[in-house]
Amino acid sequence: MHDGVKSTCRPSDGHPLPEVQWNHSEDIPLVIERARCAQKDWRGLSIKQRGKYVTALAKRILDCREEILDIMCDEMGRGRADSLLSELTVVMNYAKGTIGVAKEATRAKKVKLSPLEFPGKKAVIEAVPRGVIGIIAPWNYPLMQCYRPIFHALMAGNGVVLKPSEYTPRTGAWLVEQCDAVLPQGLVGLLLGGGDLGAALVNANIDALIFTGSLTTGRKVSARAGERLLPCSVELGGTDAAIVLADCDLERTVVGILHWSMHNAGQDCSSIERVYVEAEIADRFVSRLAAVASQLSVAGEVDEPDLGPLQNEAQLNHVETLVSRALTDGAQLVTGGQRTGNGWGYQPTILDHCTNEMDVVCEETFGPVLAVVRVAQGVDAIRAVNAVNYGLNGSVWTKNLQLGQAMARQLEVGIALVNNHSFTGVIPQIPWTGVKGTGTGVAASTHGYHCFVRRRTVVIDKSKKPEVFWFPANPDLLRLGHAVADLSLGAIGKIGVLLPLLGKRTKAVQALSRTQALPDHSGS
């Protein structure tokens, strides 16, 4: 039933963590079936009732936060304050916000029908839970990237099967334990394993899929989901850009951009990885960046660092490779560029004089590295920003808010900001989405519920007479069709022609409906 036990390492020092029992693909149908059985009753609850459960789950997560902080610090290597602020403090507000989003997204909507064209009829569009939602989550925010889609899936009336990243399995497993303690047993199921298990889940009997991960894997997931006609939302990579104009508030801008480039050691799909700076202030901007970056503590240097380590050695190697290539291609190392401690820590790194052709600019670094590209004018940066095959967040930093908005709207991104970056990911009312290589998925907001519910139209006809457009297809039917078409074009005078035709057609259809039944010869 299982592939056996697997072990991961603590990123802060490289020491092995306790082994975890992985699932085998043969376990998947059972986990899905348990979630499906629990979902049959769950979908019958009202939004208010589901909201009470989700609120209780959020409360339990916060009440037990010391437990999960221990686990996340082990699996991510971050300090407790960073882990608490990054993933836990927003839990309750996110849950409450999700309840409001769900009310709107699942509300039945009446359709206004023309009484002339559709007499006696009414229609309503309903939101029907899809059933069991598969969630394949990443490792960079191992708790938040799990509970956010779980909250939405539950509020929509679904069951869930969660496969957390193989790099951070304990965090996902802990979350499912809390779900079992608060929710109906089995409603949120757990699968622990690697990419093979994730691929098997995509092929399993789920009703929709939420995937967050790399562009390469996301393409495979999307292709397979498309073959299966499986509703699928994919959020993939990013190499977010910021444009800094000469008139910006330099002190605030430097700290803001450095925060959103180095937060979580840059392991964020919306991390600022490239910044386009007007030449007029470039020297001062880079100098201040380096000064502030040099004040940040890193994993391996202190017990409670500003920057945690890279989560795994492969990611650290990837970061080092991109930095090395950039330096070879002519970038200037301003600060950083070195490992720290015994684990996978890496110094906050600023690279100046980068170009759009460098891999560190056009590929996802996913590490504490910021590439600076100098431009003559901020408007020159728009084409360069849009030339890269990702588009999640994009920001413009300036005191001229009118110009900033105009420039931000020209960026090919899902979320355009002025004088800030990235923070909307914790707001459930705002769609988290991108373009191009970032994927077509929409997380959060009512716009993301296409994967959680399907639309069903219910039509009720209270008419007591047969329709005038039904058989027989006599000459009056043709004349009626022309009269209706002319009326739709604004020919009001056709009403005088239409009304008599309606009466004649009603009589003709009624006559047909009263046709005597043929003799029954079934027994002959």
- One-letter amino acid for residue 188 of the chain: V
- Which among 360, 368, 400, 86 is positioned nearest to 243, based on CA atoms? 400
Which pLDDT belongs to residue 492? 86
Query: Which DSSP symbol is given to 514?
Result: T
Note down pLDDT in tens along the chain; length 524 residues: 344 667 789 999 999 999 999 999 999 999 999 999 999 999 999 999 999 999 999 999 999 999 999 999 999 999 999 999 999 999 999 999 999 999 999 999 999 999 878 999 999 999 999 999 999 999 999 999 999 999 999 999 999 999 999 999 999 999 999 999 999 999 999 999 999 999 999 999 999 999 999 999 999 999 999 999 999 999 999 999 999 999 999 999 999 999 999 999 999 999 999 999 999 999 999 999 999 999 999 987 887 899 999 999 999 999 999 999 999 999 999 999 999 988 999 999 999 999 999 999 999 999 999 999 999 999 999 999 999 999 999 999 999 999 999 999 999 999 999 999 999 999 999 999 999 999 999 999 999 999 999 999 999 999 998 999 999 999 999 999 999 899 889 988 878 888 899 999 999 999 999 998 887 766 65
Using left for φ > 0, alpha for ψ between -120 and 50, and beta otherwise, residue 110 falls in: beta
Which pLDDT belongs to residue 304? 87
What is the residue extent of each domain of the chain?
A: 29-236+447-456, 240-427, 467-513
Q: Partners of 408 in the beta sheet?
A: none
Which pLDDT belongs to residue 325? 98
Which pLDDT belongs to residue 1? 35
In the structure encoding, which two tokens stand for residue 325, read together? 């290539």
Q: Over the Cα atoms of the chain, what is R_g?
A: 29
67 is catalytic: no
301 is catalytic: no
- Which among 147, 175, 12 is positioned nearest to 79, based on CA atoms? 12
Tell the burial category of 420 from Cβ atoms under 10 Å away from its Cβ (0-12, 13-18, 19+). Answer: middle
Of 75, 87, 235, 320, which residue is the catalytic one?
235
For 279, the enclosing helix (H) or strand (E) is helix 279-293
Query: Which DSSP symbol is given to 493?
Result: G
- DSSP, collapsed to helix, strand or coil, labels residue 464 as coil
Cβ contacts of residue 254 below 8 Å, gap of 6+? 285, 288, 289, 292
Which pLDDT belongs to residue 8? 86
Whether omega before 472 lies within 30 degrees of 0, making that bond cis, reads yes
Cβ contacts of residue 298 below 8 Å, gap of 6+? 305, 306, 307, 309, 340, 341, 345, 346, 347, 348
- Answer whether CATH 3.30.420.40 is correct for domain 29-236+447-456: no
Specify the CATH superfamily of domain 240-427: Aldehyde Dehydrogenase; Chain A, domain 2 (3.40.309.10)
- Contact criterion met (CB below 8 Å) for 489 and 453: no
Beta-sheet pairing, 435-436 with 109-111: unpaired
| Distance in angstroms (rounded) separating the CA atoms of residues 128 and 106 | 8
| Distance in angstroms (rounded) separating the CA atoms of residues 225 and 221 | 6
Same fold, 29-236+447-456 and 240-427: no
Q: What is the pLDDT of residues 358-406, one digit of tens each?
A: 999 999 999 999 999 999 999 999 999 999 999 999 999 999 999 999 9
Which pLDDT belongs to residue 2? 44
Which pLDDT belongs to residue 4? 62
- Contact criterion met (CB below 8 Å) for 161 and 39: no
In the structure encoding, which two tokens stand for residue 164, read together? 């957390």
Of 73, 269, 354, 362, which residue is the catalytic one?
269
- Which among 352, 340, 254, 344 is positioned nearest to 297, based on CA atoms? 340
Which pLDDT belongs to residue 5? 66
- DSSP of 420-436, one letter per residue? --SGGGG-TTS-EE-EE
- One-letter amino acid for residue 155 of the chain: M
| Distance in angstroms (rounded) separating the CA atoms of residues 458 and 123 | 6
In the structure encoding, which two tokens stand for residue 156, read together? 């929509």
